[in-house]
Structure 1
Amino acid sequence: MGGFLGFVWNQWTYKPKPLDQDKSLAGKTILITGANSGLGLEAAKELASHKPAKLIVTVRDPAKGEAAKAQIIGNNAGIEVEFWEVDYESYDSITAFGKKVLALDRLDYALLNAGIKQMQYTTSKAGHESNVQINHIGTSLVSLQILPALQKTARIAGQPSRLTIVSSEGHFWIPFKERTAENILLRMDDKETFGQQMNRYYTTKLLNVLWTRELASKVNQNEVIINTVNPGFCYSGLHRHEKTGIIKIFLWALAWTSQQGGHCLTDALVNHPDSHGKYLSEQKVVPPSKFVLSEEGRKVQTKIWNETMELLRKEAPGASFPTFEE
C-alpha cells in the first residue's frame, strides 16, 4: 500500500463493489456533505436505494440541489431528501448548520465528503490557504458540530452511529515539510510552502487522517464509529483545476468510475464495525502511511489537534465544542 506501483496495481485489478442488496437502512437518517455531484452524488444515490427514512445532502449553491435531488430519488419514491446549505469557508455557516443538525430527531450516519483540489495558491474568505480551509479546518469544524447529534442518536438507538471522513491514498506520498514548524497550520498559510501540483491537496488529506485518528481516540466507539476512507482515483469534478494533459492520460489508463468511488464511500460508512479510528482503502481496513503510524506521526497528530482546536475557538467563537474526557 502507498507506493506508486501498488496504486497502479490496485486501480487496475480491484473493482469496488456496491453494498449488498439486502442491506437495509430503513428508519435511518443520513447526512452527506458535498453530494450534489461526483462521488458524493453517486454515494447518495446508492444509499437512497437502501431506503433510509431521510437523506440530507449539503451544498454551497442551493440552485444546484434540485437536479441532484431528482437523480438521488430516481426510482426511490418516498425517500425524504433535503438539501441544506453550508459553506466551509464561513464559520457562521457551519455553526448554523451544526445547530440545525442537532435539532434533528436522529442522525445515524454522516459522510464528510466535501473538499477541493486547488492547484494554485489561493486564500479562503477566512484568510487561510484554500485547500487547508476547506479540506481540513472546515471539515474538522463540521465533524465537531455534528458529533453531539450522532452521540444522541446512539444513546437512543442503543447502537453506534457512524462518521466517515474522506481522505486519499495521496497522504502516503507527500513530504509534509511543514510538520516541523512551530505552528503547522500557520506555516501552511505561507505561499512559499504551497509546493508543486497536488502536494498541498495531499497534505490536507494527511491532515484528515490525523484528525480522524485523534477524534476517534476521544470518542467511545460504542457511541460513534469514526473512520476515514480512500475512495480511489476516479473520474470526478475534483480534477477540474488540473490543466495539464497528464491527468487525462492517468484518468484514461487508471481511473475508476464515479460510481465505483461512491461504492467505496458507502462501504466505509455502513460496513466494517471494527474500523473505529481506522483507514480504509479498496473496501477494507488497511494501515495508513508509515509516517502516521510512527512516533513522530503520533506527536504531529496531537499537535494538529491542539492547533486546530485553538484556531477554531479563536475564529469560530459562536460554535459549540464537545467536551472530551482526557
Structure 2
Amino acid sequence: MSQLWNFISMVWYQLTFKPQPLPDDIRLEGQTAIVTGSNVGLGFEAARELASHGLARLILAVRDPAKGEAAKTKIAREAPECDIQVWSLDQESWDSMATFAERARTELDRVDIVLLNAGLKRLEYTRSPTGHEAHVQTNHLGTALLSLLLAEPLRRTARQTRKPSRLTITASSVAFWAPINDVQKPKGGKGILAWLDDPASFVPGVSHYCLSKLLDIFWTRALAPRFDPKEVIVNTLNPGWCESSFHRADPQSERFSKYLAWSSAQGAYHLTDAAVRHPDSHGAYLSEQRIRPISGFISSAEGQKVQQKLWDETIAVILEECPKANIEEFTKST
C-alpha cells in the first residue's frame, strides 16, 4: 500500500508542480562550485544555471574529459566571465576520487558549493572495477567518499567567508520504493553492503537503483550531524522524474517520460534550489523545492539502526580499500 501511495504521490507532483529556476536576485559572485556528473543531463543543467548567476569558478567533475570540454564550451557561451574547469573524476576508482579531492584541497582557494550528482542506473547486475556492485560503488560509496574528502575545503571556505558552505547530494523519491528488507535484514548473515554486492541480492530491474538512493538518504542523515551547520549545510534532494540520457538503460522509463517527465533543466532547478537556498535546513530531504518529510521507516528506531550500520560499514570499506583517504575525524563517534 505504501509503495502504491508513493507512486500516486510521484505522479501527482509530476503533473501539478512546476519547478522554478533560481530567482534573478540570487548572485554567486566570487564563489566556487563543484558539480559531479556535470557533462550531461541534470548535472550539466545545474552547472549551467549556477554559472549564469555570476559564479566565479565552476569545476565540472566528469568521467569523460572530452564530454566535459564540450559541456564547458556550451556553458561558457552563456557565462563567459566564469572560470570553467574540467576535472577528471571516476567514482569507480578510489585513486581517482582521492586525487580529485586532494586537487580541490590544494588548488582551490575556496569551495562554496559541492553538488554530488554523479550516478548510474542499470537493470542488470554489473560489478564495478572495485569489486562492488555498480550502484553500490558509484551511487553510494563514491558519493560517500567525496562527501568526506571535500569536508576540509568546504569548512575552510566557511571560515574565510563567515557563512556556511553547501554540500548537496542528489537522491530520489524512488528511495521510498526500495525493498527495505535488503537493508534491514540482509540475507546470509551479511552486512548491508556485502549483501547488496552479492549477485543473489539483485532482482533485474530498478530495485538496486532504488536501494542506492535509499542509501544516499541514510548517508546524508548520518553525515549531517558531523558538520556544524554554521560551517557546512548538508542536504539531499529529489529532482523528480526527468527526461535525460540517464534513463537510457531503462526503456520503460523512457516510454513514460513523454507523459510525466520534466525536462532536464526543470529537474536541475531542484538541484540548484537545494544547493543555494533553504539556509535554515540541515540534514533535510527536499522535494518540489521545499523540505519534505521522509518515510516512516527511515526515521524509525529500526531505520536509525540501519543508518548507523550503513555508516559503520561504509567507513570500514573506505578505510580498507582507499588508504589514501584521510577520514580519521569521521571514524570518531558523534
TM-score over 0.5 for the alignment?
Answer: yes
Whether 1:174 aligns to 2:178 is yes
Q: Partner residue of 2:241?
A: 233
Corresponding residue for 1:98? 101
Aligned equivalents of 2:274, 2:64: Cα separation in 1: 27
1:15-34 CA distance string (max 9 Å, x none): 10000011110000000000
What is the 5 A alignment of 1:246-261? 246-261=252-267
Q: Which amino acid aligns with 2:224?
A: A
- Deviation of 1:322 (Å): 5.0
Is it true that 1:272 corresponds to 2:272 in the alignment?
no
- What residue is the counterpart of 2:150 in the other structure? 146
Distance 1:147 1:236 in 2: 30
**Residues 52 and 79 in structure 2, CA contact (< 8 A), matched pair in contact too:** yes
**Structure-2 separation of matches of 1:256 and 1:322:** 41
Are 1:203 and 2:205 counterparts? no
Kept in 2: contact 1:26–1:51 (CA 8 A): yes
Counterpart residue number, 1:43: 46
The equivalent of 1:223 in structure 2 is 231
Aligned residues: 324
**1:209-231 deviation per Cα after TM superposition (whole angstroms, max 9, x unaligned):** 00001000111111100000100
**Alpha-carbon displacement from aligned partner over 1:104-128 (angstroms, at most 9, x marks no partner):** 1000000000000011101000000
Aligned to 2:327: 321
**2:8 aligned partner, one-letter code:** L
TM-score by length of 1: 0.97
Q: Name the CA distance, whole Å, in 2 between partners of 1:275 and 1:297.
A: 21
Query: Which shows bigger deviation, 174-183 or 156-165?
Result: 174-183
In the alignment, the residues of structure 2 paired with residue 177 and residue 237 of structure 1 have an alpha-carbon distance, to the nearest angstrom, of 30
4+ long deviations beyond 4 Å: none
Give 3-state SS (helix, strand or coil) of 1:45's partner.
Answer: helix
Aligned residue for 1:308? 314
Structure 1 unaligned spans of 5+? none
Residue 110 of structure 1 is matched in structure 2 by 114
Deviation at 1:74, TM superposition (A): 2.1
Aligned residues of 2:125 and 2:204 also touching (Cα < 8 A):
no
2 CA distance for matches of 1:32 and 1:162?
A: 12
Q: Is the 8 A contact 1:148 1:322 kept in 2?
A: no
Q: Aligned letter for 2:282?
A: H
Separation in structure 2 between the aligned mates of residue 187 and residue 143 of structure 1, nearest angstrom: 23
1:76 aligns with 2:82: no
Do the aligned partners of 1:123 and 1:130 also contact (CA within 8 Å) in 2? yes
Match of residue 32 from structure 2: 29
The Cα shift of 1:78 comes to 1.5
2 CA distance for matches of 1:144 and 1:322? 10
Q: Write the deviation string for residues 113-146 of structure 1: whole angstroms up to 9, x where unpaired.
A: 0000011101000000001100000110011111
Relative to the length of structure 2, the TM-score reads: 0.95
Task: State the alpha-carbon separation in 1 of the partners of residues 169 and 78 from structure 2.
Answer: 28
- Which of 67, 83, 86 is 2:89 aligned to? 86
How big is the shift at 1:248?
A: 3.2
Letter in 1 for 2:326: S
Tell me, in whole angstroms, the C-alpha distance in 2 between the residues paired with 1:75 and 1:300.
45
Alignment root-mean-square deviation, CA: 1.2
Residue 287 of structure 2, aligned match among 278, 281, 284:
281
Residue pair 2:38, 2:68 contacting (<8 A) in 1 also: no
Local SS of the residue matching 2:70? helix
Q: In structure 2, how many angstroms separate the alpha carbons of the residues matched to 1:323 and 1:172? A: 31
C-alpha distance after superposition, 1:184-226 (max 9, x if no partner): 1001111111113110001000000000010001111111000
Does the 8 Å contact 1:43/1:263 carry over to 2?
A: yes
Q: SS of 1:3's equivalent? A: helix
The residue aligned with 2:140 is 136
Aligned-partner residue type, residue 190 of structure 1: D
C-alpha distance in 1 between matches for 2:289 and 2:280: 13
Task: Give the corresponding residue for 2:124.
Answer: 120
Secondary structure at the aligned position of 1:241 is classed as coil
Greater alpha carbon shift after TM alignment, 170-179 vs 200-209:
170-179
Between the aligned residues of both structures, percent identity stands at 48
Match in the other structure for 1:160: 164
Q: Determine the C-alpha separation between the residues in 2 that align with 1:193 and 1:155.
A: 44
Structure 2 unaligned residues grouped into runs of 5+: none
